[in-house]
Amino acid sequence: MKATLEPSWEGALNHLLDQPFYKNLVNYVQDEYAHGKVYPAVNDIFNSFNFCPINSVKVVILGQDPYHGPGQAHGLSFSVRQGVSIPPSLANIYKEIQADLGHVIPSSGDLTRWAEQGVFLLNATLTVRAHEPGSHQKRGWEKFTDEVIKTLSDRREHVVFLLWGAYAQKKSLLIDEKKHLILKAPHPSPLSSYRGFFGCKHFSKANDYLAANGIKPIEW
């Protein structure tokens, strides 16, 4: 696996990279790429880190798995490449932004513009086998990304964590709520969005918190 990790993150996570669990994870993922179709492309695995050096992170949006269909995943949670149909959960995110902030719904599902502003679009599992959701779970990625969240919590102040759905909300145990803002809501999936994701106003709340702490808000 020749994916490269942004230098500030590599320095912060260096203590993990020689641990047996991470070596086993790398070996597993390399074998998966060698013998089948895996998403995202190898060079995109760490895109969320590469767009957001550790000191640039303002907001964290935690997903679970990369998209498992062709041409979708590119290393940013909830995001798809330019020209790819907008997935249902992202469509609901856009609807909530429109209701919350009055923004026009974009035609593209590419969230690179968020990442470039400091929105850390992290999936708990960073790779997936084609057409097999969850296929790379419990192989070590979660241990790695849990440490990422904890490191961010420890090293930074005034980061907004948007935790949508039960899976993401369990990660709140890794975050120091005295130093950061944690916002929770149901997942934006069509199965749960009407249970409280719509109307959560997380995007205005995040921007209000950032502004109150002297940090430039996100242009959602």
Query: Catalytic site residue 18?
Result: no
DSSP code, position 132: B
Q: How far apart (Å, rounded) are the C-alpha atoms in residues 207 and 203?
A: 6
The residue among 194, 202, 157 whose CA lies nearest residue 62 is 202
Segments in the chain forming alpha helices (H): 7-12, 14-17, 20-35, 47-51, 88-101, 112-115, 141-155, 166-169, 202-212
Helix (H) or strand (E) holding 161: strand 160-164
Catalytic residue among 18, 31, 65, 176: 65
Report, as residue numbers or ranges, the catalytic residues: 65
